Structure 1
Amino acid sequence: MTVSVLLADDQALVRMAFRTLLNTMPGITVVGEAANGDQAVDLARRTRPDVVLMDVRMPGTDGIEATRRITAETASRVLILTTFDLDDYAFDGLRAGACGFLLKDVVPAVLSEAIHAVASGEAVLTPRITRGLVDRFARIAPWPRDQQASTRFAQLTPREQEVFRLIASGLSNAEIADRLFLTEATVKTHITRILAKLQLRDRVQAVIFAYEHQLRGQAD
């Protein structure tokens, strides 16, 4: 499968560097470049890329608002480009619907894997970044609580609740499998069911859901 990518960054040299790099990777094609959020939204509507690599600090409409509009209006999935892995703007991007983080100094192999993973419907958050995400949310104002959240969470089996709390604590699938003496395939099956029952898109939303509804304690 060839993954189409839209680059959104206000620095021309950064876009050129990413384009040059991506053009060397099998199965990836760059379909456009945007210098600000408005351009990103317009190009996403017209080119319908599989993945948007989105900078957050851009003049005019920033990457946060652009992410919100792109994820609401198209099927494109957004990866936040950030200089630091605990960038406040990047967390706002996750709230706006992004699928995860990419650092701007990411190594080529990881960049390629991340783009293909996101295009196939996965989220890109390392356990370290997930833990940082939860810690950062503990220091900022939460979203309005979902009154149906407790009802949906109660629909999870005891094992699914256990897996959910481990996801929220930042453990990878392999770590969860080791902790619960399960295979990774079984963990993936549990996660698929958990996301469906909680009406969540991916593990990024699962982490946010866990913090917003105080569902992390038993996993720490």
Structure 2
Amino acid sequence: LKEYCRIINIPSQLRRTDIQELIHIEIPDLIRYDNHADRSPIAWPIPIGKTNATFSMRVKMSYEFWTWFKRTGYRHLNELNTKNNWNMRLIQEKSLFNKDKENLCLYVRNKIKQLYQSHGKAPIPMKIERDHIQLKNIGTFDPIVLGKRLNISFEDWHGISLNALIDDKIRKEGGLKHLGPLELPGLGAENTHEEGSITRKRPFEESHLSTIPEESVKRKPNREA
């Protein structure tokens, strides 16, 4: 998974003829990124401006790198700036987490549409708002919670793992173990949960969310209304 961010106010003394070496090796080393399994934490540099003292670039970063930077790396960068009197900053253009949470909403919404279509019925009105799915006259749901209550398998979800996307509040309250089924209007429980539909039960649904395996990260669901 790669997503754009900006590295701004890079000191001119770091300018290199081989800009790839600066991006791939030197900057991660300077802020002490130690995940050696992540072979391309920062890539695809595009110059976006310069002054006499600094320059800036638009780059792509891995999810692993950004997660580490938010938790630890920003402190290393602050220390580096203080030590050298720099003001280098790394700015994410759009949250990877929020983007995939929105994509997960689209995924679950499409699954609900497919379920209605498989029974020859029009789906109920649905709206995505602030990384949640609103079902008219029913309520607003976290997409993972809604998927669990509808027994959706997530077997063809190709975004960030569900473990990474679950809200901390839900995790602290015990994960998804105690959620009951949700009956969709016009379908009935026997249709919402029937065997062989898109909501086929998966083994991880009977256990804590931490047992959900890591998924691949290619995506994007269709944004049909």
Indicate the TM-score class for this superposition, using the shorter chain for normalisation: under 0.3
Higher relative contact order (CA 8 A, sep 6+): 2
Determine which structure has the larger helix proportion and give its number.
1
Give the alignment's TM-score, normalised by structure 1: 0.23
Larger radius of gyration: 2
Give the alignment's TM-score, normalised by structure 2: 0.23
